Structure 1
Amino acid sequence: MSYWNEKYECMSRDEMRKVQTERLIKTVNRVYDNVPHYRKKMDEKGILPGDIKSVDDLKHLPFTYKQDLRDTYPFGLFAAPMNEIVRVHASSGTTGKKTVVGYTKNDIEVWAEVMARTFAGAGAGKDSFLQVSYGYGLFTGGLGAHYGGEYLGATVIPTSSGNTKLQLSLMQDFGTTHIACTPSYALYLAEEMQELGIKPEELKLKAGIFGAEPWSESMRKEIEQRLNIKAFDIYGLSEVIGPGVACECEYQCGMHIPEDHFIPEIIDPETGEVLPEGTQGEIVFTTITKEGLPLIRYRTRDLSSLNYAPCKCGRTETRMNKVTGRTDDMLIIRGVNVFPSQVESVLLSIGETAPHYMLIVDRKDNLDTLEIQVEITPQLFSDEVKKLEDIERKIRKEIESTLGISAKIKLVEPKSIQRSEGKAKRVIDKRVL
């Protein structure tokens, strides 16, 4: 059995509760003393740090929302001075502003630790060659996986995303044993291998660690069959730490959460009440070792459930089941967070079309596609083709700049997009997940 940190991964529930209690108390004091936003929220609820005496008191603390990070942009929720912040990452927000996260030196080590556990659970070790094909940069995927692989002692191949023929060439030449990327990119690699006449048995690939976008069990089976590997599901959020918040082991029966760093809860998304074990609801995380951006009861908007029974692998950590949906309108397309309101802000800023639009998301040849249908005004409808092409080009360029991904822009006739008396329907997601 491959553990990275057996002490914590296989700790008894009572021992884990003691660790969590001690670290939670320390974290609550830290945010109250150093983050005015948290101090104000706790004061409004009439809670002082001294009121939190055990992990059972977690439910009394206020929630943290993505909006809190926007309201305090860029560094307002940081609990460490900027001269202790050694790195910042950012993910897409609903407007042009990104959600910014900061890490101290210790936070980077914590991140490397949880990612090392992730890779060890997927069978990687010091003799492994880990190809990191997540994007590097502000996105947390690439560097998160990179540092975790190095911490594990594996040989890391930092290919980033794209340049598929080179990726496959390096896999052959270097003897890649493990790959970390999005599941859709894994299938794209499989297709390119077939085109180039590369057979899976010619590679040394054993396993893939796939995340950053929703994927189904049928997609897992297809990846495993076409690449002749074991496909592991990984879960993460930039705000909580990045990838490494949870990951499957060899039994693929739920994703293990490193609870000595992140305390999970399942709540009713409507009432905020904590739900019993096994119940489906919104998953909430509290970070208990982070220094730069500690988060108290962060509402992920992801729907899942928790299983506290020990796993067949011997780990006693709580497992979260595959995310089945979200409580908000965020989409994940090719690993990028996309909000319909981002599209709306682009159209309004250009101001040459009607404010009615529809996002059509699909998956073709195992890659996500995005088509944005935009209504033109009656005046434009009778305009010359060149004028319409110019507007389409302008929208496409602004959308790519704002979202960070390409999209097909389709200008449609006035009043052709269905109106709604209630909440406007802005998205048609045709992907089978």
Structure 2
Amino acid sequence: MSAIWDPQHECMSRDELEQLQLERLQATLNRAYKNVRCYQNKFNALGIVPEDITSLGDLAKLPFTTKEDLRVNYPYGMFAVPLREVVRIHSSSGTTGKPTVVGYTRNDLKYWAGLVARFMTAAGVTPDDVIQITFGYGMFTGAFGLHYGSEAIGAAVIPMGGGNTEKQLMIMQDYRSTVLVGTPSYALTLAERMEKLGIDPKSLSLKVGLFGGEPWSEAMRTEIEQRLCISATDNYGLSEVIGPGVAGECPFKCGMHIAEDAFIAEIIDPETGEVLPPGSVGELVLTTLAKEAFPMIRYRTRDITSLVYEPCACGRTTVRMKKTMGRSDDMLIIKGVNVFPSQIEEVLFAIEGCEPHYQLVVERRGTTDVLEVDIEVTENIFFDEMKKQRAFLEQVEKRIESVIGVGVSVKLVEPGSIQRFEGKAQRVIDKRTL
């Protein structure tokens, strides 16, 4: 059993927690309405003022905030404090247009470090650890968030940054790293390189992996844990809300505990925007309760998950979010069926001979959408006689179709032929012209 970083807030009774949330929500709404033109306009359009929100149930009356709001107000229009009070600026990559820009006050950075320290402590990190961060340092919040959390705990940080896999392994060996931070797909890239170089994972000092930045399945967790001989834990965050620190797993790995004193979580129907009852699967919506520079009210994350309110054996009382199934905007709709890459990943990991690297390619042929699943397979399968290879291929196609409810075309490719990524893996290539 790991320690609890902030027992006061992580173990509050539901009544106490909801009272704290309401007080902080009202303060956040007042600050946002007063200082952020976007929120003034949104509230005024609905005829709402902050004083109208007198209970947590009233939150559903408020408008959503979307990534488009952040782009329209680029760069500083969503800031609730003067720029002189902002001590850190981060942004998204801007691959789909203008980047979304976020800011932090000095208090925000301190609070952020504490939130990250919570899930790191829950995963088993202590001041005795040596933490190797393989996220890229830069405008992306991932590396800095874990860096601050590590320092808050008092652990030693190796700010390796992304890429340079063989050097990562050298540092891991020589500096006796005990905790690995990065994306789960990069953890498997490290494991693959170790196997090629003949490095025994048991010869390393690694004990814990803290992985985030992309959806990943339980099967992928098992693969990482077996190949790196570590305990692999999931954590969740997004730059627009704070970065990493929104939620993270405890040793029981039965959902990620959300820091509810800092965020109110809702699950909505992504089509209608209606708030769904507890336990429903839908889109996660987050409202910040403690951020000064950049408050977010009902931010649509586009991540698909569900919330678990039952008490956890670890002693924390906060709600848990299940692993994200994917994103409502990355979700593939094939012949009217919603398909998530994580569903296909679960199938592939369960089939002997499939490597943990795959890619989904969607094309439109005439008026029909076709989904091809490119899978790396072990050499003995790839070089098998055609009859055996065909039987294997049909087995994989049938297993995938039984899970997702739509037929797919499977293509077997040689080990190492699918491009490796140092950050998030690119699982989907959508070639449709819609």
Matches of 1:102 and 1:146, distance apart in 2: 17
Q: Structure 2-normalised TM-score?
A: 0.77
Query: Do structure 1's residue 289 and structure 2's residue 290 form an aligned pair?
Result: yes
Does residue 1:6 correspond to 2:12, yes or no? no
Distance 1:157-1:51 versus aligned 2 partners, 3 A rule: same
1:266 aligns with 2:279: no
Distance 1:140 1:30 in 2: 24
Indicate how the Cα distance of structure 1 residues 373 and 88 shifts in structure 2: closer, same or farther if over 3 A, else same: farther
1:373 Cα deviation from its structure 2 partner: 9.3
Q: Contact 1:118–1:247 at 8 Å: present in 2 too?
A: yes
Cα distance, 1:127 vs structure 2: 0.6
Give the C-alpha shift of residue 51 in structure 1. 1.2
Mark the CA change 1:56 to 1:70 in structure 2 (over 3 Å): closer, same or farther: same
Shift of 1:106: 1.0
Q: Shift in Å at residue 253 of structure 1?
A: 0.4
The DSSP-based 3-state class of the residue aligned with 2:157 is strand
Give the drift of 1:368.
6.9
SS at match of 1:263: strand
Paired with 2:362 and 2:254, the residues of 1 have a C-alpha distance of: 37
Cα distance change on mapping 1:86 and 1:418 into 2, 3 Å: closer
Mapped contact 2:185–2:425 kept (Cα < 8 A): no
Q: How does 1:271-282 map to 2 (within 5 A)?
A: 271-282=272-283
Residue identity matched to 1:100: V
Does residue 31 of structure 2 align to residue 30 of structure 1? yes
Work out whether 1:20 is the aligned partner of 2:21: yes
Q: What is residue 106 of structure 2 aligned with on the other side?
A: 105
Matched position secondary structure for 2:87: strand
The residue aligned with 1:124 is: 125
1:48 equivalent to 2:49? Answer yes
The aligned counterpart of 2:302 is 301
* Contact kept in structure 2, 1:285 and 1:299, CA below 8 Å: yes
Q: What secondary structure sits across from 1:162 in the alignment?
A: coil
Alpha-carbon contact 2:216-2:323 (below 8 Å) kept: no
Distance 1:171 1:406 in 2: 22
Q: What's the offset of the Cα at 1:320?
A: 0.5
Structure 1 residues without counterparts, runs of 5 or longer: 332-361, 375-403, 411-416, 425-433
Gaps of 5+ in 2: 333-347, 365-422
How do 1:68-217 and structure 2 match up within 5 A? Answer: 68-93=69-94, 95-217=96-218
Distance (whole Å) between structure 2 residues aligned to residue 328 and residue 155 of structure 1: 38
1:21 is displaced (CA, Å) by: 0.9
Aligned counterparts of 1:406 and 1:22: Cα–Cα separation in 2: 40
Please state if 1:313 is matched with 2:333.
no
CA deviations 1:241-263 (Å, max 9, x no partner) are 11111111111100100001011
Q: Provide the rounded CA distance (Å) in 2 between the counterparts of 1:365 and 1:138.
A: 32
- Using the TM superposition, give the Cα deviation of residue 219 of structure 1 relative to its aligned residue in structure 2, in angstroms: 0.8
**Offset of residue 406 of structure 1:** 11
Following superposition of structure 1 onto structure 2, how do residues 238-277 of structure 1 map, counting pairs within 5 Å? 238-277=239-278
Q: Which amino acid is the alignment partner of residue 37 of structure 1?
A: C
Contact 2:260/2:319 (<8 A) preserved? yes
Q: Which amino acid aligns with 1:172?
A: Q
Amino acid across the alignment from 2:165: T
Distance 2:432 2:54 in 1: 54
Q: Are 1:186 and 1:223, in contact at CA under 8 Å, matched by a contact in 2?
A: yes
1:73 CA displacement: 0.6
In the TM superposition, residue 52 of structure 1 has moved relative to its aligned partner by 1.6
Q: How far does the alpha carbon of each residue in 1:21-78 deviate from its partner, in whole angstroms, 9 at most, with x for none? A: 1110100000000001101111111111111223222111111011100110111111
The aligned residue for residue 403 of structure 2 is: none
Measure the CA separation in 1 of the matches of 2:280 and 2:362. Answer: 36
Partner residue in 1 for 2:59: 58
SS at match of 1:150: helix
User: What CA distance in whole angstroms lies between the structure 2 residues aligned with 1:273 and 1:216?
Assistant: 27
Q: Counterpart of 1:236 in 2: which secondary structure?
A: strand
- Letter of the structure 2 residue corresponding to residue 4 of structure 1: W
**What is the CA RMSD across the aligned residues, in angstroms?**
2.5
Q: Cα offset for 1:158?
A: 0.6
Cα distance, 1:180 vs structure 2: 0.6
The answer to whether the 8 Å contact 2:183/2:424 transfers is no
Q: 1:65 to 1:96 in 2, by over 3 A?
A: closer
Structure 2 letter corresponding to 1:248: E
Report the identity percentage: 57
1:405 is displaced (CA, Å) by 9.2
Q: 1:81 to 1:162 in 2, by over 3 A?
A: same
Q: Are the aligned partners of 2:202 and 2:229 in contact in 1 as well (CA < 8 Å)?
A: yes
Report matched runs for 1:258-407 at 5 Å. Answer: 258-329=259-330, 366=356
Q: Indicate conservation of the 8 Å contact 1:207/1:230, yes or no.
A: yes
Distance 2:75 2:207 in 1: 41
Q: CA deviation at 1:200?
A: 1.4
Give the distance between the partners of 1:124 and 1:95, measured in 2 at CA. Answer: 36
Q: What is residue 391 of structure 1 aligned with on the other side?
A: none
Give SS of 1:57's match: helix
- Once residues 97 and 272 of structure 2 are traced to their aligned partners in structure 1, the CA distance between those partners, rounded to angstroms, is 30
Deviation at 1:99, TM superposition (A): 1.0
Q: Partners of 1:50 and 1:294 in 2: how far apart?
A: 17
SS in structure 1 at match of 2:222: helix
